[in-house]
Structure 1
Amino acid sequence: MSETLATPDALADPPAAARKLRGNLGVPAIVFMVVAAAAPLGVVGGVVPLGLAAGNGAGFPATFVAATVVLLFFAVGFTALTPYVEEAGAFFSYVRTALGAPVGIGVAFVALLSYVAMEAGVYGLLGPAGASVVELFGGPTLPWWLIAAAAFVVTTYLGYRNIELSSRVLGVLLTAEIAIVVVLDLGIVLRGGDHGLSTGIVNPDTIVSGSLGIGLLFAMISYVGFEATAIFRDEARTPERTIPRATYAALLLIGVFYAVTSWALVSGWGDEQAVTRATEAGGTFLADTTQRYLGIVGTDIITVLYFTSLFACILAFHNVAARYVFALAQRDVLPASLSYPHPRHGSPHRASLWISGVVAVSIALAALVGLDPAAQFYTWFAGTTTVGFVVLLIATSVAVLVFFASDRRGHSLWRVRIAPALGLLGLAASLVLILTNLSDLVGGSSVLAWIILALLVGAFTGGAVVGARLGGRAGEGAPA
């Protein structure tokens, strides 16, 4: 860091073309990348049982509808600002454009911490899931970290290569996991559920029963990563059109998939029995439902695809985190050497390896200390990401309102004032719910909850200080 901050000469622009990523991603490829980061099958198998058990029971599917509406409000302003942000920095570029370099770089550090935490943490779920797949095919019982290490090597290789290779891999994995869940949904619906299809998703009394706040909290967690469409700007075809279309498509696909599938799962057992089973056997809730409607073959397929879903999530977050590092290095916030793409692949290969190094240390420490991969390693890191994610959305919503405050630039009042404000209100309410229940999210430890908040505040503060020191350089556009 010191070499880039020591003298004004260190802030000079390098050759423009040398620090630019290359690609030809269309809307489908970016949507695959973003939806894979949301890990649809992972949410269905992990988050949905938690929402049913601890949230608002059979009304939980409706919280996905509510979360989707809030995030669509956010997306209206987010996409309106897109043409005025000519760099691939996602959140921090949007915030910097409206609120200045110090705030923008502070947000960038929060984003980087959040995404790396998610990538590392999901290895804690992938390890045991992979061990189950090995045992399913008659193999030995393997430690979780060995499976995680193997997946780490593959992720590092794909992250080093051209983004289009990753998008093809994610496309195949995502299609497979969505296909099996759609088959399960159809199996339940066509059989009429356990004793009729659930009405909880449209019943006001059911929706507000139990803990609606906890239900909304789990629903919001399920969308982490959808906003990463903008980070692929330099690798997208006609980004001014591609990024907004991909954002809306990803949001709607995720929202409809979650709402319909969670409703089908509830219908598969009946309102009361679904909550009971999610409470007593949440870890096997999806597998139990699958076996009931698709038999043992369907259960085996779900077991394998749950593992590949987690891998797809890791790969997607790895690509996003690497591009955050690349974007920060472009404006010399991080060492400039990280901002030169691979001469043949056009990928942020050095930034990708840097992220891999951080993740490798995290996995190694978790294994050496003996952390429980799911209950501790994943939960702690996911808690960090959840808070960071909503804070980033809030900061971006404020940036939209500030940017268009004095000049709507031809946009309607709805596009740049009303919708972003409604999204901001919804996100602020979500943040309050998350902070109120953060200790529960991280295993009941209030100390750990405060540590997570301190890390995020420290990341923002450190970034803001760096942004202030760089001054005008951090506020300029990235090399074009």
Structure 2
Amino acid sequence: MPANAPHRPATDRLKPDALGVVGILFLVLSAQAPLTGIAGAVPLSVALGNGSGVPAAYVAAGAVVLLFSVGFVAMSRHVVDPGAFYTYIGKGLGRTAGTGSAAVALFAYCTIQAAMYGLYGATVAQLMDVHTGIDLAWWVWALLTMALVQLLGVAGIDTGARVLAVFVIAETGILLAFALVTLVRGGGPEGLGVAAGFAPHSALDGAPGVAVMFAVASMFGFEATAVYGEEARAPARTVPRATYLSITLITAFFALTSWMVISAHGASHATEDAGRALQDGDSSAFVFQPIADRFGAWTGDLLPVLLATSLFAGILAFHNSANRYLFSLGRERRLPHALCALNRRGAPRAAGVVQTAIAVLLVVPFALAGRDPVVTLFSWFSGVAVLAIMLLYFLTSVSVVVFFRRSRLDRRLWNTAVAPALGALGIAGAIWLVLANLTTLIGGDRTTATWLALTIPVVWLLGAAAHLTRPAGPKPVPPAAVTSEAPGTAAATAASRTSTTSLTPETPEKDPP
């Protein structure tokens, strides 16, 4: 496409300096869909996992992800690219592994978004039927929302960040208000239950693996800090700050809120109450009822609306992440180069359309088959997406160690070897827990869980095969390299001149033997 075409900038660069730490933070927190995570995961963790010890599971999951993030951030100082996972993995483990991982990353982001469309469609359909009398199928609302998400996507990342900020503040505001009021008032009928929430014997009670699995799933999306690095102001500073801040806030938020919900029920009654909510088919009541008891019945009308906006925020966040992966793959010529076309606002134009088309293709079959959007679409795709992203976390940790041992760009042992290795071990344990409990996570049978799990290596192999049959070609205009110094390395200045943002022909990288 000519560089002076009227509908795109002169280079294949995303809009620079569009996001600061706060903007990236809201994009990440919206992907977490906090209200969805609390209302959906906490009742399951309490009923099926370790009961009142669930807050400790969030702390443990946050610690593992924080260890992972140390190496992730170290890599982000040298590699800035919207295809963060696959670029990082490619730098350490070779282009074939990187391209296979790109396919898995796209699969994860697109399936989690499709899963959220299922729950979102069902939630909005019920809300509209109850409050307006409009009775339309769930998939109608899902398709209408896809069109709206597409419009917001082409409006630019700064516009999307502002929209998401409103939704994130609304949903987290009421949950934090409930948690803080409950904390100040000394908890529920049995007090705060500090020992029940965080003591080792409580954390290891029941099935702690289930609780840790859901806690790790709640962290899904924090890695988007690096995805937006090319659009960030001073990415070498912005991305690390946003990464550490988002993990800390997410961990603290989920641990505190789950602790206060359990305290409101009473630690000795929480498991029974959560199980009863699941049997009644409305697990969110385990969370919504204590809030209504504290603030009044009006929250019963507000919380379902906030649940819908929470899901919408997550859908938009994953749309932005997925289309930037498509954009990066197009720029690398691993996919058609037309995918890196940008509009006047510097947002991915063609990649956004393709991502929306993928969402349609994933959602429509469930609608045509008449499947329940929550029991099948939401449960199946969210489960397999969590497993896929865990695999990427593990491969990235390994790649960080290999990359820095080979390049010597950063000689800090903790940041480039110890923490990534510990993170890899923790993530490997989380993968084992997800596999062992995948049937529970997807709410289906073992056969379905097995087929879903097998799709991930198949997707990776297809991506790797695509690279072998169509190796990446030269990019017309490679984006600028990171120019800030990486701490702890004497060669930082030279590295800033030689470390590129992606795997370009100017810096060839061979696959490891």
Deviations 1:204-227 (A, max 9, x none): 111110001111111111111111
Gaps of 5+ in 1: 1-14
Change (3 A) 1:147 1:478: farther
Change (3 A) 1:48 1:478: farther
Give 2:432's aligned residue: 432
Deviation at 1:234, TM superposition (A): 1.7
Give 2:261's aligned residue: 265
Alignment of 1:79 with 2:106, yes or no, is no
1:214-253 to structure 2, matched below 5 A, reads 214-253=210-249
Gaps of 5+ in 2: 1-7, 278-282, 475-501, 508-513
CA distance in 2, matches of 1:210, 1:319: 38
Give 1:9's aligned residue: none
Give 2:12's aligned residue: 19
Give 1:211's aligned residue: 207
Greater per-residue helix proportion: 1
Contact 1:76 1:419 in 2 (8 A): yes
Q: Which residue identity is paired with 2:504?
A: G
Deviations 1:100-121 (A, max 9, x none): 1100000000000010001111
Q: Which residue identity is paired with 1:19?
A: D
CA distance in 2, matches of 1:477, 1:293: 57
CA distance in 2, matches of 1:401, 1:313: 31
Deviation at 1:264, TM superposition (A): 0.5
Q: Which residue identity is paired with 2:201?
A: D
SS at match of 1:272: coil
CA distance in 2, matches of 1:30, 1:429: 29
Contact 2:291 2:299 in 1 (8 A): yes
Deviations 1:281-315 (A, max 9, x none): 12321221221111111222212111100000000
Deviation at 1:92, TM superposition (A): 0.3
Change (3 A) 1:20 1:354: same
CA distance in 1, matches of 2:232, 2:390: 26
TM-score (norm 1): 0.93
Deviation at 1:437, TM superposition (A): 1.3
CA distance in 2, matches of 1:478, 1:224: 32
Change (3 A) 1:418 1:207: same
Give 2:477's aligned residue: none
Alignment of 1:197 with 2:192, yes or no, is yes
CA distance in 1, matches of 2:199, 2:392: 33
- Root-mean-square deviation over aligned CA pairs: 1.9
Q: Which residue identity is paired with 2:123?
A: A
Give 2:309's aligned residue: 308
Q: Which residue identity is paired with 1:132?
A: Q
Deviations 1:226-250 (A, max 9, x none): 1111111221111111111111111
CA distance in 2, matches of 1:87, 1:389: 18
Change (3 A) 1:35 1:48: same
Change (3 A) 1:286 1:135: farther
My pick for the range that moved more, 259-268 or 178-187, is 178-187
CA distance in 1, matches of 2:44, 2:67: 26
Contact 1:223 1:254 in 2 (8 A): yes
CA distance in 1, matches of 2:146, 2:351: 16
CA distance in 2, matches of 1:205, 1:150: 48
Deviation at 1:138, TM superposition (A): 4.1
CA distance in 1, matches of 2:297, 2:192: 23
Deviation at 1:16, TM superposition (A): 9.8
SS at match of 2:77: helix
Deviations 1:338-377 (A, max 9, x none): 11111x1111011011010111122222111011110111
CA distance in 1, matches of 2:231, 2:412: 29
Contact 1:21 1:347 in 2 (8 A): yes
Change (3 A) 1:202 1:327: same
Residue correspondences, number: 465
Contact 2:332 2:472 in 1 (8 A): no
Give 1:102's aligned residue: 96
Q: 1:63 aligns with which of 54, 57, 67?
A: 57
SS at match of 2:284: helix
SS at match of 1:197: coil
CA distance in 2, matches of 1:194, 1:49: 17
Q: 2:503 aligns with which of 459, 464, 476?
A: 476
SS at match of 1:19: coil
My pick for the range that moved more, 304-313 or 358-367, is 358-367
Alignment of 1:50 with 2:77, yes or no, is no
Deviation at 1:450, TM superposition (A): 2.2
Q: Which residue identity is paired with 1:155?
A: V
SS at match of 2:405: coil
Contact 1:103 1:467 in 2 (8 A): no
Deviation at 1:275, TM superposition (A): 1.4
Q: Which residue identity is paired with 2:414?
A: W
